[in-house]
Structure 1
């Protein structure tokens, strides 16, 4: 027999290996050295878990931006404004540990005139980050920041006080989903007994939605913003041995 009529003989030698690699979900015992000749086969799945919850924490990110001709006077004005803001927050019961006041930055401003760059004063910038455990208070605090001289809000972030508990719950749901899929797929392949062999964390995500406010003309629009429920997700990669 002329083997050349069948094409390259090397393809036939690699065919069993190619069949094993092409099995994405089901690996028959002939393709697996873990279960030789015992009728077992492997099922690989990805379990997903989702937990919806309402955020109960909020972080306000604000910036004080001032411009002026004299750097010394500008620095004094910036420090006085921030001191006034911090005192007002303290009067509202916001503790010092809830406030992160960034370092004051001073940058020289330039303008292009007559083909060259010329100085045109300075800009002072200082950031404020306020964490609130009572989500209902963030419109009130935004009002306070504006009235006390803060002129830029870069965003509002919402989160959870029980973040770890929500992540754990989502992970548990993902594990149960992996078991459900394995049993379903194992049954479809004629098996009734599926046992977990390998499981690993595929990923977890806790959304931190951010309300951008730099382009808003009025902070009044923040009062109508409702983050609603957020989805905390987790996934697991698992392999089950079925028979």
Structure 2
């Protein structure tokens, strides 16, 4: 019986201690929240952009063949595609930069009014996406593949082998823009910029150059010179958000 009384007394003591501590913790939380509520803050976003010349390109090309049977279409395609792949390697394109992006075999039909479709044969296509890390090789690489049978060139986009330097430059521009905005708003409202409370970065954005359509080319004899390619410039963009505390 005595042990039960002691246990009950201990429970009451702990409950009383907890009850005494809770208001103090709540008071501290409320005080911090009240302090932040009373602070004058400025929430801003900014963007930094830099224009840079691309130094790499991605292009899709391949072979399309037709034959009376599916096997013949695939065999003819395989022969031409093997030569295209060899030409890419001779043009200095590394194995890691050549990736099959489409392989397709389909039946081809002729349609006439009021008659059932008539099987004409089969069409096989094989396309690869290649990354050209040295733009000076691009025109020659395309011409080399066309000369051995590539008859599909679908488009080209440009990018950067290493975008880190461009992104850092865009970050610097974004921070400068952010600081200028903060100073302007503070001055306009009669405050001074105090401490930087927080800074966050959104996803950096390097929009690829719009794919440039290129006509399918049958044979290289129609080209006397290497295919000209103009890379132009691309924009690298970084978005940031920040919270400043303002002071009088």
Q: Shorter-chain TM-score: which interval?
A: 0.7 to 0.9
TM-score scaled to structure 2, two decimals?
0.75
Alignment of 1:36-55 (within 5 A): 36-37=37-38, 40-55=39-54
- Look up the SS of the partner of 1:205 in the other structure: coil
Q: Which residue of 2 aligns with 1:171?
A: 171
State how far apart, in whole Å, the 2-side matches of 1:147 and 1:112 are.
Answer: 34
* Corresponding residue number in structure 2 for 1:226: 230
Q: What corresponds to 2:214 in structure 1?
A: 213
| Stretch deviating more after TM superposition (82-91 or 153-162) | 82-91
Contact residue 182 and residue 194 of structure 1 kept, 8 A: no
User: What is the root-mean-square deviation in Å for CA atoms of aligned residues?
Assistant: 2.6
Measured after TM superposition, the shift of residue 223 of structure 1 is 3.6
When residues 121 and 33 of structure 1 are mapped into structure 2, their CA distance, relative to the original with a 3 A threshold, is farther
Contact 1:186 1:194 in 2 (8 A): no
1:147 and 1:188, CA in 2 relative to 1: closer, same or farther beyond 3 A? same
Higher helix share: 2
Specify the alignment match of 2:204 in structure 1. 204
| 1:1-243 map, 5 Å | 33-37=34-38, 40-102=39-101, 104-113=103-112, 114-209=114-209, 210-214=211-215, 223-243=227-247
Ranges in structure 2 where 5+ consecutive residues have no aligned partner: 1-32
Q: Secondary structure at the match of 2:81?
A: helix
Q: Larger C-alpha radius of gyration, 1 or 2?
A: 2
- Structure 2 counterpart of 1:14: none
3-state DSSP of counterpart to 2:92 = coil
Cα distance between partner residues in 2 of 1:165 and 1:196: 25
- Tell me if the contact between 2:193 and 2:244 (Cα under 8 Å) persists in the aligned partners: no
Q: Which moved more, 1:109-118 or 1:183-192?
A: 109-118
- The normalised TM-score by structure 1 is 0.77
Q: Distance in 2 between matches of 1:89 and 1:223?
A: 15
Distance 1:111 1:148 in 2: 30
CA distance in 2, matches of 1:91, 1:36: 68
Deviations 1:34-65 (A, max 9, x none): 5455xx42222211101111111112211211
Tell me how far apart the structure 1 counterparts of residues 232 and 226 of structure 2 sit (CA, whole Å).
14
Cα 1:128–1:158 shift into 2, 3 Å = same
